[in-house]
Amino acid sequence: RLLERIHDMPEALYQQRKEGILMGAAARLEKHTRKEVDVEKEKKRLAKIFDEARALSDLEFDLKKAELAQKILPEENKVKTEKERLRKIARFFLSPRIIPVLEEKLSQEK
């Protein structure tokens, strides 16, 4: 949705709000990643992605918005393949730490 709003925003409004948009997006990324984020570096990276989205025609944007959205995600949050996604799920359920949590959830359901 953010990419769509940025793509559709008039140029003057985008330039006026660009810094705030970048700060908000960088802050959200920082909140959802395990590593410490260099906010200025993230803002530059996001600005390139947002500018790329704005430069596309409507048709090109519709075709590439999923790809652009993947670029926005922190590297650690990207799921590259279905096999990797399934591997993450399996590791989660096979983790010794999850067994007590699952047992507790099951006992609450009864």
CA distance 61 to 54: 8
Mean pLDDT of 90-101: 81
Reported as a pLDDT band with limits 50, 70 and 90, residue 4 is very high
- Is pTM, for the whole model, over 0.75? no
Q: pLDDT tens digit string along 40-90?
A: 888 899 999 999 999 999 889 988 988 898 888 766 555 566 777 788 788
Percent of the chain with pLDDT over 70: 91
Which residue, 45, 1, 47, is CA-closest to 20? 47
- Look at residue 17 in the predicted model and tell me its pLDDT: 95
Q: Looking at per-residue confidence, does 47 or 37 come out higher?
A: 47
* Six-digit token string for 86: 């399934």
| Long-range own/partner contacts, residues 31-37 (CB < 8 A, 24 or more apart) | 32/74, 32/77, 33/74, 33/76, 33/77, 34/76, 35/74, 35/76, 37/74
